Amino acid sequence: MAGNKVIAIVGAGIGGIAAGIALYRAGFTVRIFERAGQLAEAGTGISLWHNGTGILNELGVLPEILKHGQIGTNFLLRTQSGKLLMNISTSEADTPTVCVHRADLLRVLAAALPPECFCLGHELAGLEITGHKASLQFKNQNSFICDGVVGADGVHSRLRAMLAKRREPAHRGYVIFRGLADAPTGLPPGCNGETWGAGHRFGMLAIGKNLGHNVGKNLGRNKICWYATANTSGLNRPSAGRKEWLQDVFKAWHDPIPQLLATTDPAAILVTNARDLKPARQLSSGPVTLLGDAAHALTPNLGQGACVALEDALVLARCLSCQSDVSSGFRRYESLRFPHVRSAVLRSRWLGHVGQWESPIAVFLRNLVTRRLPARLFECHSTFAEHMAALTGRTLKEVAA
């Protein structure tokens, strides 16, 4: 269906740019509107499991991303004393698991599109639908008429707020701290993991040397992205004293957790609320749809937020390519994605709930059950073609074609 169809994407994050690449490669004219004056991704590191790296490989950018990230071979679950609960192999899929800085990932994605695809400094002000066309109005007084609009502007999506069935993200009772630190010597290569305590968790991702990201004096040093959780009845903790508070909470936890916190710049510690967004069977009507966190935000417990957005991007492009009009393509995309993202949202929510248990008895039982579960239940043993067949409902022969 591509022809001369013009698709506008609101939001130049990971999902928005990936959708732009997939649509551009399918023959659509793409314009990505971003309210910021430059492309920049807030945050620290990100894990890309096999389903995400499979999409990146399809988009032709995985080799470049591998230059900046760190391949993971195992994901280790431990108790706060360091006792191993589970060793999940992440090396058996046909594309690797990779941990990379968000800024490096964004920069590689953006380089895969011509500069004229990006319209920076465009903050959305309004949306009008007339027949089969959509018109976007921006606060800088510019407007844009197109055949379809994809909202990829995050969990607090402005575009989603303009739609009839407004949905708001729900806070799940805990906050997440994130930071960067130099990788300690002697840390096994390729081993990432998460440690479970009572009401707190601590995770570590080796993200490589971040050659394109300014990390201050230690530019080019191997880095660890760490994250920590804490139950709370309120919202974000104030920035003052974050590092000291975290050091006090995790001071007796196994190495190298205290060392990572000690070497982290306190000014660079980020904190966000754990929240998710209930998926909907139909996200909009007419030539408008949503993608990524704007459509179905996940809590970060599965490490699938970016991966799900990448899946959205490729499925969206394939649906638009196969349908007779944009609205039909969008509705097909939404119907295909709903069961998968609903499962991901609920599984991530449940895992976060269990991981944040505080009762000593509950924690003991959780750890006991986890130790006895076979790690293969959580490992990937399917090919990317099989995964795409599950996502699109098509046969392996059709997917390969």
Q: What is the pLDDT of residues 176-231, one digit of tens each?
A: 999 999 998 888 777 799 999 999 999 999 998 654 444 444 445 688 999 999 99
> Do residues 136 and 124 touch, judged by C-beta distance below 8 A?
yes
Q: What global pTM score does this model have? A: 0.92
Radius of gyration of the chain (CA): 21
Q: Which of 274, 121, 86 is nearest to 193 (CA)?
A: 86
DSSP state of 393: T
Q: What is the SS3 assignment for 259?
A: helix
Strand order in the sheet with 270-276: 84-89, 74-79, 191-196, 200-208, 223-231, 170-182, 270-276
Q: What is the SS3 assignment for 43?
A: coil
Percent of all residues in the chain with a pLDDT value above 90, rounded to a whole number:
74
Q: Convert the pLDDT of each residue in 42-86 to its tens digit.
A: 678 999 999 999 999 999 999 999 999 999 999 999 999 999 999
Q: What is the SS3 assignment for 359?
A: coil
Residue with tokens 């011509």: 114
Q: Domain 6-170+276-400 is classified in which CATH homologous superfamily?
A: FAD/NAD(P)-binding domain (3.50.50.60)
pLDDT of residue 187: 82
pLDDT of residue 208: 81
> Do residues 137 and 44 touch, judged by C-beta distance below 8 A?
no
Q: Convert the pLDDT of each residue in 104-145 to its tens digit.
A: 999 999 999 999 999 999 999 999 999 889 999 999 999 999
User: Who contacts 12 (Cβ-Cβ below 8 Å, separation ≥6)?
Assistant: 32, 33, 34, 36, 39, 110, 118, 120
Q: Which two tokens stand for residue 230?
A: 């804490």
Environment class of 359 (CB within 10 Å of its CB; exposed 0-12, middle 13-18, buried 19+): exposed
Q: Which two tokens stand for residue 135?
A: 């018109």
